[in-house]
Amino acid sequence: MTIDAHAEDAEAHDQASFLSKQRIIANPGFNRWLVPPAALAIHLCIGMAYGFSVFWLPLSKALGIKEAIKCGPEIGFFQELFVTNCDWKISTLGWMYTLFFVLLGSSAALWGGWLERVGPRKAGVVSAFCWCGGMLISALGVHLHQFWLMLLGSGVIGGIGLGLGYISPVSTLIKWFPDRRGMATGMAIMGFGGGAMIGSPLAAELMKTFASDTDVGVTQTFISMAIAYFVFMIGGALSYRVPATGWKPNNWTPPLAQSSNAMITQGHVHVSKVWGIPQFWLVWMVLCMNVSAGIGVIGMASPMLQEVFGGALMGLDVKFGELDKAQLTAIAGVAAGFTALLSLFNIGGRFVWASFSDKLGRKMTYVVFFVLGGLLYASIPASAGSGNKLLFVSAFCIILSMYGGGFATVPAYLADLFGTQMVGAIHGRLLTAWATAGILGPVVVNYMRDYQLSLGIPREQVYNQTMYILVGMLVIGLICNLLVQPVDRKYFMTDAELAQEKKLAHERAAASELGSSDEAFHQNKAQWVWLAWAAVGVPLAWGVYRTGLSVGKFFN
């Protein structure tokens, strides 16, 4: 049999595959508003990675139940991976959180090109098996009290699922919404920020239900959530559809190359070339600096508020170090409400800022992030010193909205610069900036705090120098963003290379270039759109409600 015959057999087999990309090319008249709920179904599940800290305290008492059975001084980190007669430290459990985002960035970079060719359905299904299967392996790890199984399950296998699930809808949404790239990616990536808002209170309720005198209830919670997440993620993956080549919304004209917005390219860059393109590294630094500054304060927001304002959070003129145990517990509840408030702004910012970038332009949106963010970070020492809680809290709310907005805007920025053909794969490689920022930001904030305390600086002032360092990061990001220019034509694929890549990606030309528009929302299949949005909207609304209850404690 010839090579061509083998290729034809392989292509025919792939066409017959239920998960193949050819099977999900949308028919004429398909309603594009069915695609964002599919993406949200996956992102709301994998977004629980942000909320895994809800398990740390129960897991730190998995054996002792009421009080942790502490390991002896001879038990180091590697011994803790296998020890069965003492409880894990919270600092040890935190390594799972680190693995999440390291594996998210690296797996997205490694398999982004594969995703572009096999399509979002297959990638979404693999993501569901990895994320949910990882949780089941973690449940076994908790049951056997083997931490290495948790690291392997949720940390490594789950982390791979995170990466594939995170980038699975990016290219598809950008192609379905060429007229609203920012809004489309903002809707999906908003879900990743909202995942913990649903998952954390759900996990807390399940652990409370399953807990007993001999069990903290984490094993059963992992199993229950894995099953529920699997249903949602598979439902989302099977609902994905991709537009045929040449499809565009009704009454929309693509911007011409000679139009005023020169930052939107008409060409397409192959993912294999991006490592050598200056604009890629500039955007890499833009994302890294924006995320480093934001993620650095997310983890410290609660202790920062408590240490800066102390008893003032309860109307008392008492510094943090002078509070008794009952007062410390009371202000911890207030600070938890502050953290919940920040999560709402983080989520809302993903949709609002990304949608705003469709009007303002991606480059100018990041200019706003860095200039306004720098001013707000620089204002925090003054508002803290004056005891102005309103200014302090407002600054952090806007900062966190721009932190989330940076994540949601960057896929559209990449599509503008490098074209849409392989934007998902390019976005996957860019997420290595997130993995870097996940280490850089917390290290700067945490170590600077410890250093300042070692110098004897009062707790309410230990964050001042840190804020100025974060301003410096934003200045670096601003400079890199201002240096971004349209990509040189030499990096774009030729017509022959583009045709070959489309063939490898199993694309099919549209019978008609015109497709469904927003008017399809009101046509005969509108009920399916409402049903799809309700499936993801109801859990999200419940998460917002539960978060709102915590926010209420802060304002009270």
How confident is the model over 502-529, as a mean pLDDT? 59
Predicted confidence (pLDDT) at residue 14 exceeds the cutoff of 70: no
> What one-character-per-residue DSSP string does 439-454 give?
HHHHHHHHHHHHHHHH
Output the pLDDT for position 256.
57
Output the pLDDT for position 11.
47
What is the band of 298 on the pLDDT scale with cuts at 50, 70, 90?
Answer: confident
Tell me which H or E stretch contains 255. none
Name the CA dihedral angle for 46, 47, 50, 52, rounded to a multiple of 10 degrees.
-50
Output the pLDDT for position 57.
86
Both tokens assigned to 8: 């034809």
Q: How far is CA 65 from the centre of its chain?
A: 33
Q: Per the CATH hierarchy, to which homologous superfamily does domain 33-69+88-248 belong? A: MFS general substrate transporter like domains (1.20.1250.20)
284 within 8 A of 440, measured Cβ to Cβ = no
Predicted confidence (pLDDT) at residue 461 exceeds the cutoff of 90: no
Q: How many CB atoms lie within 10 A of CB 535?
A: 17
User: How far, in Å, CA of 150 to CA of 79, rounded?
Assistant: 14
How confident is the model over 502-527, as a mean pLDDT? 57
Range of lowest pLDDT (230-234, 326-330, 413-417): 326-330
**Amino acid at position 450, single letter:** D
Higher pLDDT pick, 219 / 22: 219
Predicted confidence (pLDDT) at residue 5 exceeds the cutoff of 50: no
User: What CATH number matches the domain at 262-509, 1.10.1370.30, 3.40.50.10470, 3.40.1190.20, 1.20.1250.20?
Assistant: 1.20.1250.20
Beta-carbon contacts of residue 75 (< 8 Å; ≥ 6 apart): 83, 86
> What one-character-per-residue DSSP string does 16-70 give?
H-TTSGGGGBPPTT--GGGHHHHHHHHHHHHGGGGGGGGGHHHHTTTTTTTS--P
- For CATH 1.20.1250.20, the residue range(s) in the chain are 33-69+88-248, 262-509
Gap between the terminal Cα atoms of the chain: 76
Distances (CA, A) of 4 to 7, 8, 11, 14, 17: 5, 6, 10, 15, 20
How confident is the model over 386-391, as a mean pLDDT? 86
What is the band of 525 on the pLDDT scale with cuts at 50, 70, 90?
Answer: low
Both tokens assigned to 491: 């990096």
* DSSP one-letter code for 524: T
Of 23, 191, 165, 33, residue with least CA distance to 532: 33
User: How far, in Å, CA of 352 to CA of 485, rounded?
Assistant: 25
Output the pLDDT for position 258.
42
Beta-carbon contacts of residue 285 (< 8 Å; ≥ 6 apart): 433, 476, 477, 480
Residues 53-95: tens digit of each pLDDT: 889 889 999 999 988 898 888 888 888 889 899 999 888 888 8
